[in-house]
Amino acid sequence: MPVSQTRKVNALAAATADDVATARVAAAYAEPAAVDPVNTASVPSGWAVQVASSPKQSEAQALLDETSKQAPSILADATGFTVAFEKDGVTYYRARFGFGSKTAAWKACNALKKKKIECYAVQQ
């Protein structure tokens, strides 16, 4: 049932600082779900940096936009996208940035952490 949306993010975010903080905390506890290659064909392959998870796709997208605004040079070559997953009967949306390699994803996540942006790198 994963649903994904891929697009370059350059818009301003509509989320408040509390929304961002809440979604980032939720991201830290979200478990990775199994990936169905047929339904997730449009998700960038390789490595990604997850910055948040939210029960609303619009909030996940706003978090991508906000993170891009906070760290434009770090995420300049990354593609922002959302990935749906289900936990305890609730659909959540992961906010991720795609990278071509493990090294690039880890480097970007470490740079984001220096800007106080919580994240983790994950292979897709």
Per-residue pLDDT of 107-119, as tens digits, reads 999 999 999 999 9
**If 0-12 CB within 10 Å is exposed, 13-18 middle and 19+ buried, where does residue 30 land?**
middle
Provide the angle, in degrees to the nearest 10, between the axes of the packed helices 57-70 and 17-29: 110
What confidence tens digit (pLDDT) does each residue in 21-54 have?
Answer: 555 555 555 555 555 444 444 556 789 999 999 9
Do 71 and 117 form a contact (C-beta atoms < 8 A)? yes
Report if pTM > 0.85.
no
Q: How far is Cα 21 from Cα 27, in angstroms, rounded to an integer?
A: 10
Residue 82 burial (CB < 10 Å; 0-12/13-18/19+)? buried
